[in-house]
């Protein structure tokens, strides 16, 4: 049993993680082909978006369970997730909010973000299936628009997005993070140069950060205003 202690949810997640794992080989092949191209085609960005449009690219189980644990430890009530896809990590985060509410009352929400309409529809179906819809507000569209309005202090943020969007997302949500809020970002050790502008924002805005030794590196940053 995982840290979730919810057999129905774990069964749904096992199916979704398996689907995501099955797509990994195709993602690796695509990346290798791109790396071998001497001159990327003019329509590369559109091709890449189309290729990724049906891929889950779900957060690894251990990282997702770690996020659940952090959200339970910090009694997180307002969470922002950057990159929802089919809703795998969202389900872990929403389970944490649900379990925090059960443990000590009140309410809470996970704000998700997804710009592929088919992925958003599939994610909503998964939220219903898991009985977690009431804890999730999925914002559909480009996050640079959908995250302009954030009400209330944010306790926890998960950054699991195409890396070029990590800094714009942090710029929008960062000012709403409460002191002590945790931000998790995936694969920072694997893509240090791509994350350079993200790290620059952390350094300039009072975050303390460390890279945890999960596969590809998982960045744990804490907002520590002086
Ligand atoms: C790595 S996947 C997220 C996986 C998800 N966290 C999970 O565990 O299942 C990143 C997602 O972000 C979405 N995305 C990329 N750029 C976006 C943008 N500018 N606005 C909203 N969503 C975006 C992609 O369509 C993709 O589904």
Using an 8 Å Cβ cutoff, are 83 and 120 in contact? no
Atom of ligand 1 nearest to the CA of 119: 27
pTM of the model: 0.96
89 in contact with ligand 1, CB cutoff 6 A: yes
Atom of ligand 1 nearest to the CA of 85: 27
Rounded Cα distance between 192 and 79, Å, is 25
CA 128 to chain CA centroid, nearest Å: 19
Nearest Cα neighbor of 62 from 217, 197, 179 is 217
Considering only CA atoms, which residue is closest to atom 7 of ligand 1? 58
**Which of 48, 115, 122, 142 to mutate for ligand 1's pocket (most ligand atoms within 8 Å of CB)?**
115
51 in contact with ligand 1, CB cutoff 6 A: no
Atom of ligand 1 nearest to the CA of 143: 20
Place of tokens 């790396």: 35
Rounded Cα distance between 124 and 119, Å, is 9
Considering only CA atoms, which residue is closest to atom 19 of ligand 1? 142
169 in contact with ligand 1, CB cutoff 6 A: no
Question: For residue 113, what is the enclosing H or E element?
Answer: strand 109-114
Answer whether residue 134 shows pLDDT above 90. yes
The predicted-structure confidence for 47-71, as pLDDT tens digits, reads as follows 989 999 999 999 999 999 999 999 9
The predicted-structure confidence for 166-223, as pLDDT tens digits, reads as follows 999 999 999 999 999 999 999 999 999 999 999 999 999 999 999 999 999 999 999 9
Considering only CA atoms, which residue is closest to atom 13 of ligand 1? 83
């Amino acid at each position: 049993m995982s840290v979730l202690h919810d057999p129905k949810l774990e069964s749904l997640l096992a199916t979704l993680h398996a689907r995501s794992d099955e797509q990994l080989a195709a993602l690796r092949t695509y990346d290798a082909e791109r790396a071998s191209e001497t001159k990327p085609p003019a329509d590369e960005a559109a091709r890449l978006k189309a290729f990724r449009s049906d891929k889950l690219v779900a957060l690894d189980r251990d990282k997702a369970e770690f996020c659940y644990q952090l959200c339970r430890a910090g009694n997180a009530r307002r969470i922002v997730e950057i990159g929802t896809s089919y809703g795998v990590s969202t389900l872990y985060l929403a389970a944490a909010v649900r379990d925090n509410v059960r443990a000590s009352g009140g309410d809470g929400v996970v704000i998700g973000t997804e710009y592929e309409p088919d992925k958003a529809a599939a994610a909503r179906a998964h939220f219903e299936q898991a009985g977690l819809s009431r804890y999730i507000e999925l914002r559909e569209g480009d996050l640079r628009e959908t995250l302009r309005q954030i009400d209330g202090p944010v306790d926890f943020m998960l950054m699991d997005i195409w890396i070029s969007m990590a800094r714009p997302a942090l710029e929008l949500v960062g000012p709403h993070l409460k002191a002590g809020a945790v931000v998790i970002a995936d694969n920072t050790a694997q893509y240090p140069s791509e994350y350079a502008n993200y790290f620059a924002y952390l350094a300039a805005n009072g975050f303390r950060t460390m890279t945890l030794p999960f596969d590809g590196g998982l960045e744990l940053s804490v907002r520590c205003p002086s």
